[in-house]
């Protein structure tokens, strides 16, 4: 392995993060900071764009930390194609050429850069101090728009959208509440929760009112699918018709699992999922739907797992 190959591989990681940002705006540009949902999103994007598959264990070994050796050449070729190149060799050639052709920075330019950095640092410190002085804690709770009942669910997620900054993720506590510490007067956020439709909201905050309540609409289709999996299969033809109607023809359906400590994923198409869900002997019983996405009023993506108490 050429000594410069590791440097080139680190450049490839940055380009991969840039490609992911096109599909998932706001994702951390440092690939070593990805975890959980970021990794799952990358696996899906890789599968869609270059029909590539990488395990979460491989990702942690090669992408989140410097590995003692480069990945196999076929894997490097696949990642290079994802970044928009024909192969690893083409990526190396183009990036090494760009590296060697860059000119030297003059001494005056370096001094100017130092002054600029100092100025920016001082300005940033002053800005941060002002923000800290004006920052307040706001407690947000959620309720069902139909029933008015509070949502007590620690799987509620809030993605706070910040101007000129990366989004910030929050997770509800066991009481379904989220505390956001901010000095902003206006918050833009995306709220997601199992069995509820995701919603993008704008909230105007008042300094003297620290408690906010947000209503969410139930995801009727997700509830229907969960109900089907949790009950005896009667009138299966009617259920198949209902599932056929609510699922998009191009739906991607992911079953997430954990085997011997390693995360796994199984992919079904629309027909496979309908068959498994309506067969009396199916292993898809008591499923827990983690996420749904819609296209033209039909489900285009489902992520689910089989509940722990249900042993296959």
Position 311 scores a pLDDT of: 43
95/102 Cα distance (integer angstroms): 11
Res 209: pLDDT? 74
Q: Is residue 79 within 8 Å of residue 12, measured between CB atoms?
A: yes
**pLDDT value, residue 100:** 57
Largest CA distance in the chain: 80
Task: Give the list of residues 6+ apart from residue 113 with CB closer than 8 angstroms, or none.
Answer: 105
Q: Is the pTM of this model over 0.75?
A: no
**CATH placement of domain 135-216:** 2.60.40.10
Beta bridge partners of 20: none
What's the pLDDT score for residue 196? 92
Please, which contacts does 272-275 make with residues 24 or more away whose CB atoms are closer than 8 Å? 273/243, 273/247, 273/302, 274/240, 274/243, 274/244, 274/247
Q: What is the DSSP letter of 303?
A: E
3 state DSSP class of 299: strand
Q: What is the mean pLDDT of each run of 10 residues along the chain (312 residues)?
A: 76 89 88 89 90 88 80 90 90 75 55 83 80 77 92 91 89 92 86 91 79 91 85 74 93 84 84 85 78 92 79 42
Query: Where exactly are the structural domains of the chain?
Result: 5-101, 135-216, 220-306
Q: What is the pLDDT of residue 99?
A: 58
For CA atoms 189, 59, 41, 89, the dihedral sign is positive
């Amino acid at each position: 392995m050429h000594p410069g190959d590791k440097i080139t591989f680190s450049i490839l990681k940055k380009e991969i993060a840039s490609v992911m940002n096109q599909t998932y705006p706001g994702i951390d540009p440092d690939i070593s900071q990805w975890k959980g949902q970021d990794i799952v999103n990358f696996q899906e994007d890789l599968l869609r764009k270059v029909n590539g598959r990488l395990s979460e264990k491989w990702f942690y070994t090669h992408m989140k930390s410097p590995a003692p050796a480069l990945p196999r050449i076929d894997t490097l070729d696949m990642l290079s194609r994802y970044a928009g190149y024909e192969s690893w060799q083409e990526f190396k050639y183009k990036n090494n050429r760009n590296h060697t052709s860059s000119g030297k920075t003059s001494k005056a330019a370096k001094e100017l850069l130092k002054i600029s950095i100092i100025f920016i640092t001082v300005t940033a410190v002053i800005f941060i101090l002002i923000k800290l002085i004006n920052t307040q804690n706001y407690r947000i709770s959620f309720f069902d728009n139909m029933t008015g009942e509070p949502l007590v669910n620690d799987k509620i997620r809030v993605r706070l959208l910040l101007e000129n900054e990366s989004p910030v993720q929050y997770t509800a506590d066991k009481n379904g509440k989220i505390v956001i510490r901010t000095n902003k007067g206006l918050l833009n956020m995306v709220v997601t929760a199992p069995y509820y439709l995701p919603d993008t909201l704008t909230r105007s905050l008042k300094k003297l009112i620290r408690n906010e309540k947000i209503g969410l609409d139930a995801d009727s289709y997700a509830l229907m699918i969960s109900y089907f999996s949790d009950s005896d299969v009667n009138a299966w033809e009617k259920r198949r018709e209902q599932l056929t109607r609510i699922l998009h023809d191009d739906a991607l359906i992911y079953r997430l699992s954990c085997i011997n400590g390693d995360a796994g994923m199984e992919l079904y198409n629309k027909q496979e999922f309908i068959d498994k869900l309506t067969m009396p002997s199916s292993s898809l019983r008591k499923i827990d739907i983690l996420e749904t996405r819609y296209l033209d009023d039909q489900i285009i993506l489902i992520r689910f797992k089989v509940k722990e108490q249900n042993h296959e």
